[in-house]
């Protein structure tokens, strides 16, 4: 499978995701603004603790000091892992100078939309 690329923008904000299959596992590079690595989220698919017939996911995150991509990386990894029933790693690095609170909410929404596009593209 070739690398997949997803991109979505709202005004001056653009978020991109590059997706590679690593065997059966999924690797996502999530970027926006100035490129860097800020956080890494990893999730492993597993049976739900409440109902073993349901699928769930357990996630962890590593965040470099001073970065705030942790919640996005962890949630995207967990949600994709649960949906795709695969192990997922999300490497996230997004930075724009002078963002307002409403811009941060826009970035979170853009990441949610890209997550849905990735899930749709990889769902068998």
| Span between the terminal Cα atoms of the chain, in Å | 13
Over residues 66-105, the pLDDT tens digits come to 999 999 999 999 999 999 999 999 999 999 999 999 999 9
- CB neighbours of 80 closer than 8 A, spacing ≥ 6? 26, 28, 43, 86, 88, 90, 115, 118, 119, 122
Tell whether the model's pLDDT for residue 1 goes beyond 80.
Answer: no
Domain housing 93: 4-122
CATH number for the domain spanning 100: value is: 3.30.230
Cα(55)–Cα(48) distance, integer angstroms: 5
- Structural domain count of the chain: 1
pLDDT value at residue 124: 65
Over residues 24-70, the pLDDT tens digits come to 999 999 999 999 999 999 999 998 889 988 888 999 999 999 999 99
The tokens describing 21, both together, are: 């299959």
């Amino acid at each position: 499978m070739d690398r997949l690329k997803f991109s979505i923008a709202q005004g001056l904000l653009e978020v991109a995701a590059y997706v590679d299959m690593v065997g059966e596992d999924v690797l996502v590079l999530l970027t926006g603004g100035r490129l860097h690595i800020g956080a890494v989220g990893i999730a492993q698919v597993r049976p739900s603790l409440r109902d073993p017939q349901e699928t769930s996911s357990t996630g962890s995150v590593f965040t470099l000091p001073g970065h705030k991509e942790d919640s996005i990386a962890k949630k995207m990894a967990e949600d994709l892992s649960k949906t795709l029933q695969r192990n997922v790693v999300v490497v996230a690095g997004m930075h724009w100078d002078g963002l307002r609170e409403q811009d941060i909410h826009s970035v979170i929404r853009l990441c949610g939309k890209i997550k849905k596009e990735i899930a749709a593209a990889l769902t068998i």
